[in-house]
Structure formats: structure tokens, C-alpha cells
Structure 1
Amino acid sequence: MKRYLWVIGIVLILGAAAFFYYQGQAQIAEEPVKESLKTSKVRRGDIIITASGVGAVVTQADIQIGFTTAGVIDEIYVKEGDVVQKGEMLAKLEMDPQLTLDLLTQQINLINEQENYKNLVDNLDVDLASASVNYLQAQSELEDLLTDRASLNYRRCGDEYVLQYEADYNTALEILGRLQDKFNLLYATRDLSDPERLQAEADIASAQTKVNTALASWQYCLTYPSLEEIALMDAKIKIKENEVIRWKEEMDTLQAGVNPQDIELYQAKVGQAEAKLKIAEDNINGLTLIAPITGTIMDISAVPGQTIGNNTNIIRIADLSRPILEVYLDETDLDQLVVGYEAEVIFDAFDTSIFTGKVISITPELVKNGNVVYAHGLVELDPTSFGKPFNLPLWLNASVDVIGGRSENTLLVPIEALRPLGDGRYAVFVVENGTPTLRMVEVGLTDFTSAEILSGLKVGEEVTTGIVETVQ
């Protein structure tokens, strides 16, 4: 690589010398026109890479709510523009005495049904519950053992699994081979600490593990259970069968004390009473309208004294505490719309104030409007950047600059000074003692006019940017 750069330098210097020589000869022999180098000095400055778009204020929480019970509105405690807290009462309906009576009736009914059921099973429920659980568990375990025992009569895996595991092994082996070939071709000669080589080695190790696992699974499936395994399983089944019989006998004895049909009947009565009480409670709770979120009252579409049906929305709440912008950029700037990137926002209504924020989400598909396609995302504004209270109503329009990169007080040269050498390498011609000299540089951010120099130049050095003609 060093020899390659040295050769480039020699060729460029010789070319420059030949150029100046022939220019001098041409100037003497032909026309009184002189070509001279156009230069610029290395300076310090700022460079910002931005993608411009438009946006509007939106909210991530915009909810319409209403009473779940029909009735006449008694009071509305809020007005449009009020900020309310989650759980705060917003409005209420006139109290219906019938709803209160129904609630008390259902509460008493549930207490009575629960007491009746308790009296029925008070002396049996604990023991019977324990015996029932143990019986069901033992029965389930016995079924599992019988299933396992049946499988011991055959090869450990069926033909379809053998073929599948063999295919898995061959696939894993093929992937490993491809990774090894890729490593030998691209990374084997690289430095041992090269990140891409390390990643390739990790991928090969992972692939080798998958090969080993697939081979072990395939080989295991080809074997048959041993006689010792079969004998041990038969013994386990016998023990579990005796356990099932014992728990079944105990459960039958306990159940004989109470008619099972009576138990089912009383259980059903308790469940029915609980359901009726829940309905009565919901009807009472439905007389009040509670804020489901903390937010701002955006709209109220009812007045006290108005009769409304259940589940009719009358209040709209939006969370404006987190200023969010819905932004649209040209699809060519999609690479600049990245979660975490900073953004600068100027609202049409406050054209002298710059708001800052960050991109918090990106729509996974482009948005089409007519024949124009946009990249779409959300920007969350930083309230501390406002400097003073601002009212940001929903759908307030703004201009948005998403900042893809920023470097301040850095070394800058005109973009024309760069000489690309390929593979991301650059050089410039530095004027030393009146002669352009090739020098390698490390380039950072670039825009349409300037390039950031990370290393290779100093402030005040003179670089060439082209050739200009002057008439003598």
C-alpha cells in the first residue's frame, strides 16, 4: 500500500512538472495567457449535515370518551383547554335511585349465595380439594409415563425425524463450509484484531457448534432404548398406577358426603351472583366520567341536562405534555432520518425561535402523496429548548432540519481541494515553497462546499483547488 501511494505521488509530481513546463513553453511560443493554481487556506469552522423537511405538531395519545351508562348529564367539571390528571372526574350523570337499589340488592344476594355454599362444603372442601388435585396430577403423570413407555418399543425417533435431523446436519455442514470459504477468501490474511475477521471467526465457531449439535441429534435418533431403560420405565408406571388408585379412592370417599350435583348447583349460583354484582357496580361507576390519561381537554360535545346513550363519546383528551412532530422528508434523505438524530424546528407561527429535538421513531414504509414519496417519522421536542412558554397547538406547521452530523471548530477545506484515491482514501495538494505537494488526509464530514479534515493538515496551510487562467 505504501509503495502504491509513493508511485502515485511520483506520477502526480512529474505530471505537475510537465504541466508547468509545457505551459511555460506555450506561453512563450503562442499566446500571452497564463494558467495559475487556484488555492485556499485551511481554516477552522463548523460543518453541519442536514436534511430538510416539513412537519406538524401531533400527539401520541388522543382519546375520545363517554359515559358507559345512559342518563341525563348532571355536571361537567372541565372546559376546553383545561389540563386534567389521570383519574380526575370530568363529568357525572344524575343519580338513578334504581341503580343504587340494584347494587345493594346484588351485594346482599352474593353474600347469601356464598354463605349457602360455605355451609354445604365447609367440612369437606379442604380435604376434597387436596385429594382432587393429587389425583389429577397423578393421573396426568401416569399418562405421560405410558406415552413414554410406548415410545421405548421403537427407535428413538421416527423416520421423518431421522430424515429431518440428517437434513439439518447437512445444512449446518454446508453453511459451515461456506463460512470457512468466505473466511479464507476475504479475512484469512487480515490482521488478527481486524473486527470483520473476528466476526467471521465467531460466525464459524457458531456454525461449528450447530454442526456438532445436529450430528449428535441425528446419531441419537438412530439408536434404540436399552433393556435397562425399559425395565426402569415399567417400574415407574407400576408405582404411579398404585398412586392413582389410592388418590381416587380417597376422593370418592370424600365426595360421597355431598351430592356432586348440589355442589355444582351452588357453585353456579355464586358465579351468577358475582356476575350480577359486577354489572350493578359498572352501572354505578358509569355515572361518572373519569380521565383515562393526563392531558388537555380538546373538545366537549355535550352540555348539562342533555340526555345521552351509553358509550356515546362527549369529551376528547389529548396528551400535549410531550411535544411531538410528525415530519416528512424527501425519500432521497431517508438515510438522514435515523432514531436518535437531532433536529432543529422552526414553526411558521414563531419564525424567530429555533426548537430542538430528537427523532424517536421512523415509519417502516414510505408515504406517498400523489406522485411524491416521502420518508416519515416522529420528532420529540426538548421542552428546555423553548426558553419561554410556548403554546404548541395540534397541527401547527413547522420547517424541520434533521441533523445527520455536526462538527464545530474543526479544520475545513473547500470540497474542490479533495483528490479521491478510491476505497475512501483522499489526498490534497499542499503548496510548499510555491510547489504543489501531494499529501494524504483523513476526511470527516462533507457537504456541497466544504470537507472536514481530521488529520494531515494544519490551520493556515495552502491547498490547491483548481486552475485559473489570467491574461497578461
Structure 2
Amino acid sequence: MSQDSSDLAFQSESYEAALAIVQAKLSQLLAGASAEDIALAQTAVSNAQKNLDDVKETLSDAQTTADTSLTDVYEDAQRTLSSSLLTTQTSLQTNADTLDSTELNLYSSASNSQALIDAKNLKFLAELDYNSAKPIVEGVTLSFNQSSIDSALERLKTTTSLSVSALAKTYEVLLSVVVSSQLTQTELDAFKTSIATARINLNTALTNLVSAQQSITSQKNTNQTSINSAQAGVTAAQGALQTVQDQLTLKIAKPRQSEIDLYTAQVKQAQANLNQVRNQIAQKSLAAPIDGIITDVAFQKGEMASLTQIAISMNSLSDFEVKSDIAESDIAKIKLADPVQITFDAFGENEKWQGKVIKIDPAQTVVAGVVYYQVTIGLSGTDSRIKSGMTANLEIETERHVGVLIIPLRVVGENKTVKIMENGQIKEKQIETGIKNDQGEVEIISGLKEGETIAISK
């Protein structure tokens, strides 16, 4: 008879699985790593070390490639510096030749003398700046130094920009000159073409200088990206190697006591959870304490049960028990497993069954002012004739002495004396007695010998 416990059954299965898992983990921890696991871990360490060596080589290659590529770019910059310096020198010479021309000075001074003065002043400044920049640029074209090349590029770029401005001012002067018989249109156009060409060459040189700087910056960025990527690979490989080395160390090492304690505690907790739900399931079931036949069910499904009313009655098929109230004066003599001879009123005194004391109730029962203790006797064997509720008679054997001297209890005096016949005379002897039986006999421990004659009063 039980209540619905399907939810608890599912919970019990979950707890059983959880218990099995933590038990397996504890067993695995105590067993340690297998030889195969250790071999695999060692292989993983070897592979990780090889991978680290490979990525370190990749990093070295990236650094070498970066150095080579950057050197190539700086060598290109050296060539750009040389060509740009020459272009600036040539352009400034063209500008000087134009401004120093007799015809230009004669026919431009009348129409725009201030413009000519400004052009010559700017020419002077440009030439002065060029003369300052020239040794710097020539120095890096003869001796390779990246930092010096960077400085020379920036320095020559300033000089070239100033030269562009100087030629622009000269071209402005040419635009104000009026042709005459002394300065023909053809001659004026030649001056303009010469200055315009020089300006184009200078702008190209300036563009080349800027491009050289940009190429250097771009190559440095590319190199840094490549090196960073390779370095990241090395860092990752170092971390991976450390991880598998740690794993190998853990596999080789014995389990720590703290880990054993942790898994042991988890096993106990899982077992406690399982026991708890099993107890809950058991509490939902009403199990018969013995095998037997149900004779009465007092409740129907859905009815409220009463704590004071018997719900189910049944008869045992075997292992009958007899319950008897024993007076407190005798209970101290009885102990568990004492043999018992049993008769039933239904079968008479000649049919006897054997049993033994299986329980002594520690709590007293008071009947009519007399204290009793309930004793339970278990019958040995089975007999289909025995029915529940039959009246039984018990003989409990509390102690057995074999081969001892006994006399009738009634011949023992008040002070444990016995009268005997000796040489025709009645004498009184002091004796020591032992246990008594239900036949009115008492054991003699000392004071009498077998064969002595006891005097009995009539």
C-alpha cells in the first residue's frame, strides 16, 4: 500500500546518477593517471615544444624580413634624396639665370620693379636654405643611417618647398613683363617655359620626398604588424606549452589530500541526498512486517486515515509470535534467546512447540496495580493449524544445570538446613542451595552428598 511517489522516484534516479558520478571521480582521483594518459600528456608537451620552436622561427623570419624590407625602403629614400637634391639645385640655377638676365632686368623694372625685388629676395633665401641643406643630404647619401635619412627627408622637403615658392614668384614677374623690340615674345616665352618646367620638376621632387616618407612609415607599420602577429603566436605557444606541462605534472603527481577530502565530502553529500529521498519514498509506502494473508482493509482510496484505527489486518503464514506479560518479580530472570516450550489450549498439553525469547519490552505495563513487562516469544518452524489469537502456555527456561544434586524444596528448613539419618540418629546439616525448578525441586551446591538419607516429617 503506497502513495504516488513518481516524482520522488525520478529524483531518486537523479541522485543515484549524481552519486555514481562523484564516486567515479573519487575512484579516478585515487587511481591516478593511467600510463596511456601520461604518455599522451608527454606527447602533448613534445608537440607544444615543437610548435613553440616553429613560431619562434617564424618570429625570427618576420624580424629578418622586416629589417630587409625597411632597408630597401630607406635605400630608395637615399636615391630619392640624391635626385631631389639635384633637381632642386638645377631648378634654383634656372631661377637664378632667369632673374639675372639683362633683358629681364631692363624691361621688368619699369613695369613691376617691386615684384622683381621680391623675386630676387626669395631667390636668395632659397639658395641660402639649399646651401644649408645640401651637406645634410649629401652626408646620408654617402653613409647609411635610417634616423639621418628621416631627418634629411624632412630637411630637403622644406628646402624644396621654399624653392617652389621662389620659382612661383619669378614666374609672377615674367607675367608682368611687356614684350618689345629688345625682349621679344619668343624670348619671354622661353623664360616662362624654363621656369614652368623647373617648377614642375620641383613639385615632382617634393612629391617624391613625401612619398619616400610615407613608404617608410607604411613599411614600419607593416613590419610592426607582422612582428606583433608572430610575437602573439610565440606568446600563445608559450602559454599552450605551460598548460600541457602543468597537466603532465598533475598527472604524474599523487592526488592532494585536499582533493581527496573534497571528493569524499561530495560522495557523502550525494549519498545523504539519495538516502533522504529514499526515506521519503519509504514513508509513502506501508509495508507488511511479515509474510501473510490480508484479512481486512479498513480504508478505501482517498479516505483519511486515523492514527488510532488499524488500517490493515493480516495473518502470518509462518514465524508466529506469542506475547506474554511477565511479573516484575520474574522479569529479571529472563533474557533474550532463552528457550521456551509452548503449548496451546486448542491442541492440549501433549503437543508442544519450541521457541525462544526475541524481545523484552523495556517499558512496564500496569494491570490492576501490578507491574508487568511484555515478553515476545518467536515460534520455531511452521504449523498451518496455528491461528492468530490462540491462547498459548509458556515454559521459559531461564537457566539449565546438568548432573547436579537435587532434593525436594519442602525438606529445606528456614535457615537452609536439612535433617538426615546418620547411624540411626537424626542430624541437622547446613546446606547451600542453587536454582529451583517448576517440579518443587532445588539444586544442592554443598552440604549434602549423593546417597545420604533425608528425614522427612510425616
Fold match by TM threshold 0.5: no
TM-score of the pair, normalised by structure 1: 0.31
Larger radius of gyration: 2
